[in-house]
Amino acid sequence: MDEQPQAQPQSQSSESASEEKPNRLKRFIKETVRVLRVTKKPNKQEYWATVKVTGIGIGIIGALGFIIFLIKELLL
């Protein structure tokens, strides 16, 4: 018979797990600060471009939903 290798259970002490949480929090804070440094406030032109694209997308999704609703009502 073929013997399948079995995974060894990871043994972590409670000390190691409790030390990992502050490190994860520190790493999260560092990443958040890095992202905030890289990002910038959009200018008026970029903002309006985003608003237009978002509005068009919402309109298309709404129109699709309405068309599907009409088709369903007409067929049933």
For the cut 80, the answer to whether the pLDDT of residue 74 exceeds it is yes
7 belongs to a structural domain: no
- State the total domains in the chain: 1
Section 63-73 average pLDDT: 96
Rounded to 5 degrees, φ, ψ at 40 are -140, 160
* Mean pLDDT of the chain, nearest integer: 85
63 belongs to a structural domain: yes
For 43, the domain range is 17-75
pLDDT > 70 in the chain, percent: 75
Within 10 A of 59 (CB to CB), how many other CB atoms are there?
A: 10
21 belongs to a structural domain: yes
Dihedral sign from CA coordinates of 20, 22, 26, 32: positive
> Per-residue DSSP letters for 35-76?
HHHH-----HHHHHHHHHHHHHHHHHHHHHHHHHHHHHHHH-
50: Cβ contacts below 8 Å, ≥ 6 apart: 42
11 belongs to a structural domain: no
For the cut 90, the answer to whether the pLDDT of residue 22 exceeds it is no
pLDDT-based confidence at residue 34 (cuts at 50, 70, 90): very high
